[in-house]
Amino acid sequence: MLFDSKKEFIDDFSRRAIAKYGRDPKDIHPSEAYDILGTMVRDLATTNSKACKDSVAKNGNKQVLYFSMEFLIGRLLVPNMVNLGIFDIAKAGLADLGIDIKDLENQECDAGLGNGGLGRLAACFMDSIASLGYAGHGNCIRYDYGFFRQKIKNGRQEELPDQWLLNGNVWEIRKPKHAVVVKYYGNGETYVDQEGNIRRRTVNSLNVIAIPCDVGLVGYHNDVCNTLRLWTAEPSIDSIPENTSFEEYIAFVRNITHGLYPDDTTEQGKLLRLRQQYFLVSAGLQSTLRSHYRLYHTFKNLPEHFVFHLNDTHPILAIPELMRLLMDENGYSWDDAYSICTKCFAFTNHTVMPEALEKWPCNYIANLFPRVYMIIEEINRRLLLKMRQDNVPEAEIDNCIIIKDGMVRMCQLAINVAFSVNGVAGLHTEILKTETFKDLYKMYPEKFNNKTNGITHRRWFLVSNPELSSYVTKLIGESWIKNPQDGLKDLLKYQDDEEVLKNFNRIKRDNKNAMVKLAKENAGIDIDPESIFDVQIKRLHAYKRQLMNIFQIIHLYKKMKADSSFRIYPHTYIFGAKAAPSYIYAKRIIELILAVAKVINNDEQVNKYMKVVFIENYDVSKAQIIIPATDISEQISTAGKEASGTSNMKFMMNGAVTLGTLDGANVEISELVGRENCVIFGMNEKEASELRYKGTYSPWDYYNNNKDIKEIMDSLIDGSFDDDTKRFQLIFDEIMNRNDEYFILKDFDSYNHARAQIEKLYLNRLDWAKKCLINVANSGYFSSDRTIEEYNRDIWHLTKIK
């Protein structure tokens, strides 16, 4: 350990303060103190990292390389210190130096490496892989400006650069000696090598240097440290192609790492997304192959030492790129290269939404990466021949082939080549097998499997909710930290203990005080900690139905205004969401939430009973305040549309009660805790599918026959929430004239009744606390430790680092 005592910590901290900033610790700025502490923690992690790498090299451990366009890792200071077992010593040592560790925590920016659940899941997986003692590393792009920083101005979302790197990144180590060259454009050339073999190569390419910046991924109390490798783009020292100016070339390079998810409504944005995806996979694979060859001098054993896991569709170009590297750069035959690929790649699908099942115009790929496209064409040709030889019906072939209608279908590429394809919740995986990829499942039933998502309980309970997690440890011991699935169940013996239940309520009230402070600082709104905190925080998308939530709030508001005898128990409705810059409809929903909030919060007749808060620039750090304070977890997506969800798991683990549809992991949550400890409403997936298939649904039937629904819809265009009656016409039209795609009006009455039901449940405070305890006790199943052990058992087959 870097320091075994408080004195050692103080001595090292003081020495570093003088060496770097020329000042005593008492005189340095909190930002400087954070830099020093972060460097100390990073150095300890790096020492562990070396020992792990040495062990892997010596013992030949198999490793997983996890490719993802997002890793929403949040702040690392406290989780890293907790995992390293040095938090208490550091906190005490800093206090002796007159430094509050909280001040240093607040100096750290959330890393701009993700947007939503996909990136947060990847970060949780990395924590669990390291904490379970496996060798697993992430590959991502080092985005200069993240997704965007959300600013609410004049009742609208504005997008500003997320300058998360403004003060540097204390956790990364830049490693230019490990740089690789990524090639774009050019053309595929056939040539004869020195041994007379016909080979192909890429010539006349535009080259970009990819430089890795490594961030340590620290395991919990086990001296394991893996790596998150972030790739940054730099200009090549090679000559620029003749038809490209210096300015154009520099812009090309800079744009690759400029930001996450460029606007794909334009051709320029689509091409940039594709360039980013190729940059990530080419750099990661080249680096891995180079280090592997240095050890083994062959790639025939690559599947014995590596699994390349593709987190959703974005990294799927890794498959033809590995083929290219093996054949063009290392002389492997097609058959040998393809055999290696079919044993190395595993694929996780995260959605059934058609717009998220990536497909790219053939000419885009052929132009940007000519050799890669040639390889995709050949994979497709050979698959087509085999299917016809096997007498597969043409209709099924049509659904299984990779290239169709001038488009490369990325999921078809992954499923045909990878050895494993998994969904992320039981319902989601069944939809993949029976609907989305029905014919591919028929062809490769052995590839498909389910791995229900999970979250790292270390960040989302141990670190985020220290008062409750400490109390849980006091009750049942600390074994749950390393074995949450079984350990947390020991809480169930306290489910009828009145003192314990009262303490659960007290701790929730304490956590609400932090949320009160956040609401004031972030949104300028005073909220009542005695009110019910009803929360929906997630990416803004129509299928997640934030709109139904605000519709029900409008209904309650209108009802209270019309009937002075009708009142509800005080509620605080909390939203947090970003809408993609080009997603106009989602941005208009945010505007509606803000407009309704403005009216309600300023209405003295009503605001003692309800307030609406929209948290600006929702991120991981804010979630760590909001989630422990939440009473009701809104998980209200249209059944069959949410692959899994992970916020539902975080809320459950922190003692919130789920109000949701039978969608994604809500299904498993309801089964684990029992229907009496959550509130389920609305159509299930089968009912929603049947209604969609019949084509008989009309929102006008609900509008004309339900006065509450008519009042809500009319309020969008009658000036109730904005003098401009056209402002929310888009929302009205989307529901009424585009047939309410996500069945908001169909499920509204059920949702309205469910909200009334859950309010009644809340008012029985001891019984509510019992429900909260039962949710916490059963949440261990949703630890990403369980998920990773299942991935390893069925897909990766890693052995632990010794």
**DSSP track, 608-647:** TTEEEEEETT--HHHHHHHGGG-SEEEE-PPTTT-S--SH
pLDDT exceeds 60 at position 121:
yes
- pLDDT recorded at residue 329: 95
Catalytic residue among 142, 359, 541, 650: 650
Instruction: Report the pLDDT value the prediction gives residue 353, as an integer from 0 to 100.
Output: 80
Mean pLDDT for 367-389 is 97
User: Is pLDDT of 244 > 90?
Assistant: no
Torsion of CA 94, 100, 104, 107, to 10 degrees: -160
Which of 538, 571, 727, 771 is flagged as catalytic? 538
The phi-psi region of residue 32 (left if phi > 0; otherwise alpha if psi is between -120 and 50; otherwise beta) is: alpha
- From the candidates 257, 638, 646, 787, which is the catalytic residue? 646
Catalytic-role residue among 350, 371, 508, 545: 350
Q: What are phi and psi of 635, to 5 degrees?
A: -130, 75
The question of whether 650 is a catalytic residue gets the answer yes
Over residues 408-420, the mean pLDDT reads 98
pLDDT at 1 over 80: no
User: Measured between alpha carbons, how far is 711 from 700 in angstroms, rounded to an integer?
Assistant: 13
Cite the beta strand spans of 99-148 per DSSP E: 136-141
- Measured at the alpha carbon of residue 443, what is the angle toward residues 437 and 448, in degrees to the nearest 5? 60
Q: What is the mean pLDDT of residues 447-476?
A: 98
Q: Give the residue-averaged pLDDT of 631-643.
A: 97
DSSP character for 779? G
Q: pLDDT tens digits, residue range 287-333?
A: 999 999 999 999 999 999 999 999 999 999 999 999 999 999 999 99
Indicate if 456 belongs to the active site.
Answer: no
CA atoms within 13 A on the CB side of 66: 30
- What single letter denotes the amino acid at residue 719? G
Q: What is the pTM of this model?
A: 0.96
- Weakest mean pLDDT among 3-12, 461-470, 551-560: 3-12
Residue 428 among the catalytic residues: no
pLDDT band at 116 (very low <50, low <70, confident <90, very high): confident
Known active-site residue 544: yes
- Judge whether 138 and 71 are in contact, CB under 8 Å: yes
Secondary structure percentages of the chain, helix, strand, coil, to 5: 55, 15, 30
For the ranges 236-250, 550-564, 706-720, the lowest mean pLDDT is seen at 236-250
Which residues lie closer than 8 Å to 648 by C-beta, 6 or more apart? 633, 635, 658, 660, 664, 665, 666, 669
* 420 three-class SS: strand
pLDDT classification of 168: cutoffs 50, 70, 90: very high
350 as an active site residue: the answer is: yes
Judged against a pLDDT cut of 70, whether residue 2 lies above it is answered with no
Tokens, residue 441: 């499942």
Cβ burial of 523 (10 Å; 0-12, 13-18, 19+) is: buried
pLDDT for position 3: 75
Residues 6+ apart with CB under 8 A from 294: none
Tokens 């888009």 -> residue? 730
Reduce the secondary structure of 475-528 to three states and give it as a string: HHCCHHHCCHHHHHHHHHHHCCCHHHHHHHHHHHHHHHHHHHHHHHHHHCCCCC
Q: Which residues, other chains included, contact 422 with Cβ-Cβ below 8 Å and sequence gap of 6+? A: 346, 347, 348, 349, 429, 448, 449, 450, 451, 791, 795
Q: Per-residue pLDDT tens for 25-68?
A: 999 999 999 999 999 999 999 999 999 999 999 999 999 999 99
**pLDDT value for 241:** 79
In angstroms, the CA 743 to CA 472 distance is 41
The pLDDT confidence band at residue 390, using thresholds 50, 70 and 90, is: very high
The H or E element that residue 182 is part of is strand 180-184
Q: Which of 229, 428, 544, 786 is catalytic?
A: 544
Q: Is 608 a catalytic residue?
A: no
Mean of all residue pLDDT scores within the chain:
96
Say yes or no to pLDDT of 355 above 80. Answer: no
Render pLDDT for 571-630 as a digit per residue (tens, 0 to 9). 999 999 999 999 999 999 999 999 999 999 999 999 999 999 999 999 999 999 999 999
> Residues of the chain with pLDDT > 70: what percent?
100
